[in-house]
Structure 1
Amino acid sequence: MGAKPATIERRLMTLKSYFAWREDRNSALPSPFADVRISVRIPRRLPRPIDRDTLRAVLQEGEATFAVRSKPGADDATPASQNDVTILIIKLLIVTGLRISELTNVRVRDVSPDGSQILVNGKGSKERIVFVPNRELQEEFQRYCQLRSEHGSIGAPLFFNTVGRRLRAATFRKRLRALSKRLGIEPHLTPHRFRHSAATLLIEEGIDIRMVQALLGHASLRTTEIYVRVSNHALRRALERVNILDVLSV
């Protein structure tokens, strides 16, 4: 009772699969779903991007950590801490809109020498190039990649966990939950919410939707169109640029 449409559809698919398997094992037991067509209408959910104030709080957490590690006498060659890496990944998710699985599968050789481009293997094994536009982030990313290349092969994973293996998406999600709890962020941060934020911010700042589609690796423009919504932030910026009373007085 009270199950969501997606849950109902998943349960129906499970039942259909079971009865199809049973019929395949014993033809005397036909599937009750053989001549039944059940369609479950699943409402399209709007993305839940992270608001700008929360994004600022997360990035400031990274700046505070960096300030502690940058005291006089600190060794620049010291490998980045796990918290540093978490914040770096968050920054990359915000500016590139990558899926966390795409980013955790990146290898050292997939990043350009200056840290401005990443070769990504996306859904359906489709390759695309994403850009890191912020100069300060490029330099931070370049330093990290240089350390990784010095401590491993260029074919090694770019991001790794505490035991030196490729960082798994599930592990990064746990890190975000811990960060959310530490900063009192609710609902908690998720990698996909950063992807939603990247798309929403770009569209709010006037980037063409087809460029956003290419960045996100969407096969269909219809998937990207969900981000084309009038937000309070975008509306306020637009109204501030155009003074209607001044236009009428001309």
Structure 2
Amino acid sequence: MKTTDFSTLLTRYLTHYLPVQRNLSSNTICSYRDTFKLLLIFCRDVKGYNIAKLRLPMLDKNCVEEFLLWLANVRGASPSTYNQRLCAIHAFFDYVIAEEPGYMEQCIQIHNIPRKVASSPPAQYLTADSLKLLLSMPDASTRRGRRNLVLLTVLYDTAARVSELVDIRIRDVRLDAPAVITLHGKGGKIRSVPLMKQTVELIRAYFTENRIDPHLHSDMPLFWNAHRQKLTRSGVTYILQKYVEMARKVSPEMPPNITPHKLRHTKAMHLVQANVNPVYIKDFLGHADISTTEIYARADNEAKRAALEKATEHLGLPTFSDWEQDAELIDWLSSLG
């Protein structure tokens, strides 16, 4: 099959530029890939194009805008999903400008397509009492329970993403003062986060019980499964959810669906409530932009507002009323995952 300018650029973009030059994570690349899978399906099924012969000039501003409307109106994409897909398209056409300057005007027109404005819901997090209850659930009289207590404590104390947690190696843990754990984050970014004294003592006891020598076992994962391999993200989620269900039997105040990421939100909220400088919180969480960190300040304000409303409920204040068969390109995109 004869290649087109679009297929050539997209192939280079997904298989070389993003993973090699930008060093983006496989999850991010898969998200970009999925955007173009949807775009190809739209071009085939809605526009009637033979996507095997799709050329770059066919993907003009009008086509992209129609694709975004199709995402929102037909597929029911939320504003955040809409903006995620648009961001992937913007990034691709930024790449096109550098590779094929002859398409600059078309690329600029596409880049001027605005994002959909939508208010973000406040970040969900655990109260101090709920967190304390959750951390009391592992059975500290058993080896597995002690391991899981260390896991949950490190997950909270470092505010690690679950992918960062499972990638921690023994060499990433420093227990001598100042105690820190080095996290390997999104896009290959590395950051070191400080540990509370209680967390340091838990990890130290965990090392002793498992006869871990940081010098001899530096390449071992911090948390491993029965096969001595690092835990998976789903494994961490399973462990957390098990203790959430146990905690709910003790207190109905415990939210039902606590994910590892909500422990990250919880740590961030506790830092906000302790009046830690937002710039420090941004660095602690590994955010690229402080605007991402500001959602926690908004959430704290929302919590304060809810508390104030509850305090005035008794006043009765007035309220308002209520490519050929065209599967070839799509299959190729799928194979990249």
Q: TM-score range by the shorter chain?
A: 0.7 to 0.9
| Alignment-mate amino acid for residue 15 of structure 1 | L
Task: Report the TM-score, using the length of structure 2 for normalisation.
Answer: 0.55
Q: Residues 211 and 32 (structure 1 numbering): CA distance in 2 closer, same or farther, change over 3 Å?
A: closer
* Structure whose alpha-carbon radius of gyration is higher: 2
User: Are residue 198 (structure 1) and residue 293 (structure 2) matched?
Assistant: no
Structure 2 runs not aligned, ≥5 long: 1-32, 73-78, 81-117, 249-253, 309-337
**What CA distance in whole angstroms lies between the structure 1 residues aligned with 2:60 and 2:261?**
35
> Displacement of 1:59 after TM fit?
1.9
Closer, same or farther in 2 for the Cα pair 1:148/1:234, shift >3 Å?
Answer: farther
Q: CA separation of 1:166/1:52 partners in 2, compared to 1, >3 Å: closer, same or farther?
A: same
Unaligned runs of 5+ in 1: 1-9, 70-79, 237-250
Query: 1:48 aligned to 113, 124, 140, which one?
Result: 124
SS at the partner of 1:35? helix
Matched residues in 1 for 2:188 and 2:211: separation? 25
Please name the residue that 2:135 is paired with: 59
Query: Offset of 1:27 from its aligned partner?
Result: 5.0
- Is residue 25 of structure 2 the alignment partner of residue 25 of structure 1? no
1:183 has 2:210 as partner: no
Q: 1:164 aligns with which of 228, 245, 253?
A: 228
| Structure 1 stretch displaced more, 219-228 or 175-184 | 175-184
Match of 2:219 in 1: 155
Q: What's the counterpart of residue 91 of structure 1? A: 153
Q: TM-score, normalization: structure 1?
A: 0.72
After TM superposition, give the deviation of residue 228 of structure 1 in Å.
0.6
What's the CA shift for 1:31?
A: 7.2
Q: Greater share of helix residues, 1 or 2?
A: 2
1:106 alignment partner, SS class: coil
For residue 131 of structure 1, what is the aligned residue in structure 2? 194
Alignment root-mean-square deviation, CA: 3.2
Partner of 1:110: 172
- Output the CA distance in 1 between the equivalents of 2:205 and 2:185: 25
1:207, distance to aligned residue in structure 2 (A): 0.7
* CA contact 1:19–1:32 (8 Å) conserved in 2: no
- Paired residues in the alignment total 211
Shift, 1:191, TM fit: 0.4
Percent sequence identity over matched residues?
Answer: 25
1:150 & 1:31 partners in 2: Cα distance?
Answer: 60
Rounded to whole Å, the distance in 2 between the matches of 1:233 and 1:52 is 18
2:87 maps to none
Distance 2:171 2:258 in 1: 29
